[in-house]
Amino acid sequence: MIKAQVWDSRRCWVGEGPAATGIDNNDVTWVDILNGKILFKNLSTDKTSEHVLGEDVGFAIPRTKGGHVVGTNSGPSLLGEDGTLHSLPNRLSADGKPDPVPTRWNDAKISPTGDLWLGTLAYNNEPGLSALYKMDRHGKSLTRILDGVTCSNGIDWTDDGKTMYYVDTMTGNIDAFDYDGNDISNRRAMVSIPEDDGYPDGICMDAEGGLWVAFWGSGQVRRFDEKFNVTEIIEMPSKFVTSCVFAGPNLDQLIITSAHNGDPDVKNEAGMTCIATPGVRGRTTTLYPL
């Protein structure tokens, strides 16, 4: 059992989607979804900053040309380093009709081939009304891939690029799909988590094929090996754990986001971003190639 320590004390309503880029993978970014912020902190210098977008933001993934691709409610959009926003195809263009209920973007990740995979969440958590989408690597088209989702969450790919792991949180499952570099198929549940054991949320892979999963409600991050046995547990000072990413020059530091979720009874550390040394190395954050 490993205990995570507070690394950044800014309390997020819902912290999510950490990424590590820059020199020695020291530039860490994440979002505070319901406060519409992108937060920044350097692992080496401890320098912090933030960018306020003015609307809820489900993800902010660094781009190869600088800036981020961001999941604002009116987006997705390309956010330039100068703060300008450039619109990309949105859900209305993909679906041909408005969302049935108020909906926002949630978690997202870049595939090994450079496409942006991004999912949604209805604000009222109504079951089955959300979806998983794919934005092509050129930012030209948004396609609805998976229907009947409730809370689209963690996404990542195995090293060989042949399997995509995916979490629809309210199912309690961590699923796998076959992935051919473009499409997914053959969905199957790799593990089902009992409801009283927390809800799977954001995920990331390590360099040994292990899958690290943040568990909302349990205050833990758990590592699953390739047979989906739990091989390590990180205890967090916040029960609402949301996601994680490997950072640092050796990619051996795990940065973990959390939420206070508006709960007045949670500990003061809830919503803060933590750090742990899990004993394995991770993988670099894949950037959006625009």
- Cβ distance 244 to 194 under 8 Å? no
DSSP for residue 223: E
Report the pLDDT value the prediction gives residue 164, as an integer from 0 to 100.
98
Report the pLDDT value the prediction gives residue 263, as an integer from 0 to 100.
76
Report the pLDDT value the prediction gives residue 265, as an integer from 0 to 100.
67
DSSP for residue 158: -
Mean pLDDT, the chain, whole residue set: 96
Tens digits of residue pLDDT in 56-112: 999 999 999 999 999 999 899 999 999 999 999 999 999 999 999 999 999 999 999
In whole angstroms, what is the distance from residue 232 CA to residue 161 CA?
24
Q: 268: pLDDT confidence band, cut at 50, 70 and 90?
A: confident
For the segment 262-290, the average pLDDT, to the nearest whole number, is: 91
For the CA atoms of 90, 91, 94, 97, the dihedral, rounded to the nearest 10 degrees, stands at -130
> Pairing between strand 230-235 and 2-3?
parallel
- Cβ distance 179 to 164 under 8 Å? yes
| Non-local CB neighbours of 96 within 8 Å, separated by 6+ positions | none
Burial tier of 180 (Cβ tally within 10 Å: 0-12, 13-18, 19+): exposed
Report the pLDDT value the prediction gives residue 89, as an integer from 0 to 100.
97
Q: 45: pLDDT confidence band, cut at 50, 70 and 90?
A: very high
Tens digits of residue pLDDT in 159-190: 999 999 999 999 999 999 999 999 999 999 99
DSSP for residue 24: G
- Annotated catalytic residues are 201
Instruction: Tell me how many degrees the CA angle 213-56-148 measures, rounded to the nearest 5.
Output: 55
The radius of gyration of the chain's CA atoms, rounded to the nearest angstrom, is 17
Domains and CATH numbers, the chain: 2-276 (2.120.10.30)
